[in-house]
Every structure is written in structure tokens, then in C-alpha cells.
A and B are shown apart, each in its own frame.
Chain A
Amino acid sequence: MRAINKNWSIMTGNEAVALATKLAGVKFVSAYPITPQTAIVEKIAEMVANEKMDAKFIEVESEHSAMASVMGSELAGVRSFTASSSHGILYMHEMLNWVAGMRLPILMAVVNRSIGPPWNIWADHSDTMTQRDTGWMQLYGESNQEAMDTIILGYKLAENKDILLPIMVMQDAFTLSHTSEPVEIRDEEKVREFVGEFNLPFKIDINKPMGYGSLMPPDGPFMELKMDMKKSMYSGVNKFIEITKEFNETFDANFPGPVEGFMMDDADYALITLGSISSTAKHVVRNLRNQGKKVGLLRILLYRPFPKDLVINYLRGLKGFGVVDRSSTYGPFGSLYMDVISSIYGKLDIPAANFIAGLGGRDVRVVDFEEMFMRIMEGEDGEIWINAGVK
């Protein structure tokens, strides 16, 4: 247990994100309110109005415009930020592709919330899962500390001159966004030095006018641009590991990096999770370990780019595993499951179940994780819905 000093404070995930944008030196914020994200931009607006944060804040009439206006400010070379949730994310879908394709390292905090109908405001990853192919990197955090730290690490990763891609930084609705936890506030001066100056190499220059994203015929470098995006994105895995190391040294922290293996060293069975339910899963892993069961947990923090080699290394030697998807997408299996299985295809031959759990904010309880572990230990595979049936 580390000493609690004056840099610790009790705050919600939303407050942690808002404060992190100030620490990271964000200079432009544009947003449209949506539950459960609203508290982030409210806090930022308040800091800007009270001159505690040196930035410009613009409220727009929609999420599509919010993303369009941060695209403009970022092109002008100004570090920019926005935040949204759920239907707001879907509404900006077109602009998400534009921002990524234009290689603009914007950060957006997302408080994960389900997609209607029926109307529901609780935790569920469907909003960002359906945007996983837009060219944005995606980080799913587990705690309010990570909500703060992923913003700081995120700007350094996104603005790296070999990456230049936007990042969505996720936290779960209410479980994190509206729940207070102790958070160590990173030192502002150190954060500024760590993140560095923002220098967009191709920013708008009125003395050298350029066309941005204009028409490109089939024999233009259209394919090459897409290839380069993919290359940059996947070089992000190693870059993220490097940046994590530097972050932990600078702030005396223990940020896990792209994935976190919990009691994985000698595990026979494991679950793979994203986000805040991982904490409950860890509790269950500890309990089962106490009963002599060799189980572990692999938490994916960096979901795009998918850290496939790291995942393969953790899974090698297991007798069975389960992947927990907290989203409703309509492929043959859940999204995370398909990413894991396609990564290990031809390399590892292990039975693997796909658990769909926690949709629309339904609790994923200790008994649910116990059931999941029991079912993988019995060798089950295929898609299994947990704590769901006729209600």
C-alpha cells in the first residue's frame, strides 16, 4: 500500500478525465452533452469559465458537429478534446472516419453506454465496439485512476510522429463515471513535460494552402494511405509499451500497458475481459485460487490495435479459456471473442467459450464469474449468455 499524500483526491471517473485534459494541456474542447458523459464537459466548461484551464470551449448543436469542430481545431495545430457516449458516438460515425483518415491525434473520452432501443443509459460496450473499425485506437480502462492516466498516456501515443491517429479512451457508465474512488493526481508540470509540445507536421498554413482529404482516383495513393494507417496503428502496440514504461518511471506509477495478466503465470484456465468488470473477475480469481483452482484473468486495455502477440503469449499453455463480451454485435460471435480467436488461429488449439454478459448495465456478479469459470473448466465452448433468460 502506497502512502496517501496530498496529491490524492476522491473523484469520479468523469472528474478524473476532465482534470486530466487540463493537466495534459488541452487547448480546445467542443462537445454536446449526453448521459453519462455530460459531467466531463460540464467540469471542463467550469474550469474554463473560472480560468482554471486555459482553453477554448465551444458547445455545438450535435455530436457530428462536435467531432467536425475538433477536426478543424486539430488541423490548425491545437491540442483538442471531446467526449461522448452511446448514440452520440453513433451520430459522429462519419466524422470519426474523417478524423482518423486525416491522421489527427484527437482524444475523445467515451463513457460506455448501451445502444437503444429500448432506451437504456447503463454500462455496455456496444457504442464503441461498433466503431472499432474507424481507425481510432481504443483503450478500455478499469478504474478512475486509469481514466486519468489513459488521457495523459493517450496524447503522447496519439501525437507520436510515426502514429498520428486519434484515440478513444473508455470507462464504464456509472460504475466508474459516477462512482468516487481515490485517484492520484499527476503533477501538472511533469505531465506537460511527459506529453510534450503538440506539433502537427501538416497543420493549416495560410501561406501554403493545401487541400485536405480531397478527391483521389483509384490509381492515386488511396490504398497506400489505408496501408499506412494500419501500419502506424499496429506499431502503436510497442510504442504503447515504451510509453507505459516511461510513464511509470516518471510518475512512480504501475500502469499495466496494453494488457494486464492477473495470476496468469501458472494458470490452466483464464477469462479475458475489458473494462470495470475485470475488478469483480479478479476477486473471483483470488477466491478460486484459495480453493486451489489454477485460474487467471487477462484484461485487454488496448483493444485497437489488438495486441495479438501479447494475447497469444498469455494464452499459450492454457487448457481452456473464456472471452467475456459486454456488447451486442451481430457477427457469428462477440467482437472480442472473434479478435482473440482469429489472433490465435493456427497457433494455439485451446477450447474457448464466448460469454455475453452485462448488457444494458446488467450486473456481472461474483456468481456469474464463478459460473463462467466452472463452464470453461468443464470444457464448454461456443456462445453462452450469462444471467440472461426470460425476465
Chain B
Amino acid sequence: MVLVPTAYAPSSNNKTSSWRTTRPVIDYSKCTRCMICWKFCPDVAIGVTFGEKLDYPNERFSKLEAPFINYDYCKGCGICASECPFDAIDMVQESEM
């Protein structure tokens, strides 16, 4: 058999959160659940909540599922914050958390 560059190393063993210096924080009172951040995250670190009680801008958005950030994998690139059309994501220095 030949040598092949494959590895049994699931990503659960390889959390990349320590690469982050700034952290995206969602202000749910501004978040319209448009999911643009979810689409843009290059690390697939934004997921969708299911039935969680979160703040919302007004009643119209109260029934929609919201994005959440998986801080185990978020590398803090800031793309989500830059793409959010409602300025609902703030990048906060990790040292201040």
C-alpha cells in the first residue's frame, strides 16, 4: 500500500478558538435574523439557534430562528461584523472579555 495524506483527526480534537484576538458578539436587539453573517462566515462558525429565548428588534422577528456564534471555532476574522447590514455584531477585544 502507498502512503496517503489522510488523518483520523476530527475537528472536535482541533479547536481553533485560540487563534482569535477579537470576538464577534451579536446584539440580538438589533438582529433581524437575515442570516447574512451565517452565509459569510468562512469557518462555518455561525450556526442557527432552535427555540432559544433571545432578544429581538420587534415582535415581527420574535418567531424567527437566530444566528449564534460557535466560539470553539470562530477565528475572529470579523467578516460577519463587517457584512451584517444592521450593525448587530460588535468585535470585542478578547483581553476585555
Contact = CB atoms under 8 A, between A and B. Distances in A.
A195 B5 CA distance: 26
Interface in A122-137: none
B6 interface: yes
A61 interface: no
A214 B2 CA distance: 17
A161 interface: yes
B50 interface: no
A358 B10 CA distance: 53
A201 B8 contact: no
Contacts of A214: 5, 7, 9
B3 A225 contact: yes
B2 A211 contact: no
B36 to A, nearest CB: 24
A186 interface: no
Nearest to A75: B6
A232 interface: yes
A101 interface: yes
B4 interface: yes
B6 A202 contact: yes
Interface in B1-41: 1-10
A214 B3 CA distance: 14
Interface string B50-81: 00000000000000000000000000000000
A221 B6 contact: no
A202 B6 CA distance: 8
A305 to B, nearest CB: 14
Contacts of B5: 101-103, 212-214, 216, 225
A209 interface: yes
Interface of A is mostly: loop
B4 A208 contact: no
Q: Which of B2, B3, B8, B9 has the most CB of A within 10 A?
A: B2
A49 interface: no
A201 B1 contact: yes
Contacts of A163: 2
Q: Which of B1, B3, B9, B10 has the most CB of A within 10 A?
A: B3
Contacts of A378: none
A133 to B, nearest CB: 18
Q: Which of A162, A210, A229 has the most CB of B within 10 A?
A: A210
A211 B1 contact: no
Contact of A232 (B2, B8, B9, B10): B2
Contacts of B2: 103, 161-164, 228-229, 232
Contacts of A232: 2
A213 B4 CA distance: 8
Nearest to A210: B6
Contacts of A103: 2-5
A163 B2 CA distance: 7
Contacts of B7: 210-211, 214
A236 B86 CA distance: 60
A202 to B, nearest CB: 5
A372 B6 CA distance: 50
Nearest to A161: B1
Contacts of A225: 3-5
A225 B5 CA distance: 7
Given A212-B6, A225-B3, 10 more contacts: A102-B4, A102-B5, A103-B2, A161-B1, A161-B2, A211-B8, A212-B5, A213-B5, A224-B3, A225-B4
Interface of B: 1-10
Q: Which 4 A-B pairs have the closest CB atoms?
A: A228-B3, A211-B7, A210-B6, A164-B2
Interface of A: 101-103, 161-164, 201-202, 208-214, 216, 221, 224-225, 228-229, 232
23 contacts: A101-B5, A103-B2, A162-B1, A163-B2, A164-B4, A201-B1, A201-B4, A208-B8, A209-B8, A209-B10, A210-B6, A211-B6, A211-B7, A211-B8, A211-B9, A212-B6, A213-B5, A213-B6, A224-B3, A225-B4, A225-B5, A228-B2, A229-B2
